[in-house]
Every structure is written in C-alpha cells, then in structure tokens.
A = this chain, B = another copy of it.
Amino acid sequence: MPRAGLSTQAVVQAAVEVIDDDGVAALTLAAVAARCGVAAPSLYKHVSSLAELKTLLGVRVLNELADRFAAAAMGRSGADAITALMHAYRAYVMAHPARYAAMPVDPLHHPDLAAAGIRQLEVIQAALRPWQLDPADQIHTIRKLRVVAHGFASLESAGGFGLPEDLDETYRQLIATFLDSLPAHP
C-alpha cells in the first residue's frame, strides 16, 4: 500500500481537472478519487465532504479570477482600466467555462469565500477611483458592472446566445454604454 501523497490542495486540483474535462455536473468524489489514484473514502482524510470540496473549489476559482483582474488593471486607469477588467472577465469565463460555473455568485455570505470575493471587489474599486464617486454611487456602479459582466459571460458560456457571430460587438457596446453612464471624470 504505497502512499499517494495527497493533500487538500491536490484534491482541489484534481477537482478542477475533473470539471475542466467533463463539466461541473461530473464533479463527484468518485471521479476525483479516480483521478487521484485513490479509493473514494480516502479523500475524507483531506476534505470533510463534497460540499467542502465545492467551497474550496469556489475559493480557488474566485482567487484565480481576482488574479486576472489585478493583472488586467495593472498599469491602466480610468475607462481603459474598466475596459480591461471587463474583457479579462469575459476571457476567463470563455477559457474556463466549467470553473466559472463552479464560482459561487454570493461569496460575501460565506466566511470561507468572503476574502476571495473582496479581492475582486477591491480591484474594481481601485479602477473606479478616478471618478471619485460617493459611497452610494460607488455601490450602484459596482453592481452595474457586475450585472453586465456576469450577465454577458454567463449567457455566453452557457450557449445562451443563438448566433455566435458578432458577440465581440455586443460586448463592446455594453462596455461603452456602461462607461457612458458614469459621470465625466477629470
């Protein structure tokens, strides 16, 4: 019985590979165990339940997207930074649709997910700084940005748009409309 050398993060990594290959519905402990070369009950040494594995997967994916956000915003400001953020969001979702489907939509309500969710928020807040919005306006603005990015990305990744062509143009118009809705900034 040689030891497989697993760890919690290795199990999460296997879960990512399972959903990348076969979709989020194929995420079972049996599939993860098979990929790790281990019997299913052995996973309980590293993960307390399937629900916890899904939460850990959520943390992983939230952080991955926050990294993309930070990279996209770096060295840009104003409308340029916002545009880059929104394109980074869409690019991530299309590159990893199953991971996006595994990303919880309400991270702030779960203690283990909140930190990763806040990382994303902070990047957006920083990008909006040039507009010097008052706190209430800032909340509405961040919400609207999320609505546009999440709405478009979730529809696109789920095949919700009938015709595949011209989606770049639709998204470009959405970003332009969102930017137009912001007050002028110095």
Point out residues on A near B: beta carbons under 8 Å. Answer: 105-106, 108-109, 136, 139-140, 143-144, 146-152, 154-155, 158-163, 166, 169-170, 173-174, 177-178, 180-181
CB pair B108 A158 closer than 8 Å: no
Chain B, Cβ-Cβ closest to A150: B151
Task: Given A140-B169, A140-B170, A150-B151, decide whether A105 and B158 contact each other with a Cβ distance below 8 A.
Answer: yes
CB pair A170 B154 closer than 8 Å: no
The A interface is mostly helix, strand or loop, or mixed, namely helix
Copy count, this protein chain: 2
Q: Among B147, B160, B163, B169, which residue has its beta carbon within 8 angstroms of that of A155?
A: B147
Q: How far is the CA of A149 from the CA of B155 in the complex (A)?
A: 11
B residues in contact with A144, CB < 8 Å: 170, 173-174, 177
Q: How far is the CA of A139 from the CA of B170 in the complex (A)?
A: 9
B residues in contact with A106, CB < 8 Å: 158-160
Chosen A-B contacts, 21 in total, with CB atoms closer than 8 Å, are A105-B159, A108-B162, A136-B166, A140-B166, A140-B173, A143-B155, A143-B161, A144-B170, A146-B155, A147-B147, A147-B148, A147-B151, A147-B152, A150-B151, A150-B155, A150-B160, A151-B152, A177-B177, A177-B180, A177-B181, A180-B181
Q: How far is the CA of A148 from the CA of B159 in the complex (A)?
A: 17
A-B interface, 5 closest residue pairs, ranked by CB to CB distance from nearest: A151-B151, A147-B151, A177-B181, A106-B159, A105-B160
Q: How far is the CA of A148 from the CA of B174 in the complex (A)?
A: 9
B residues in contact with A159, CB < 8 Å: 105-106, 109
B residues in contact with A174, CB < 8 Å: 144, 147
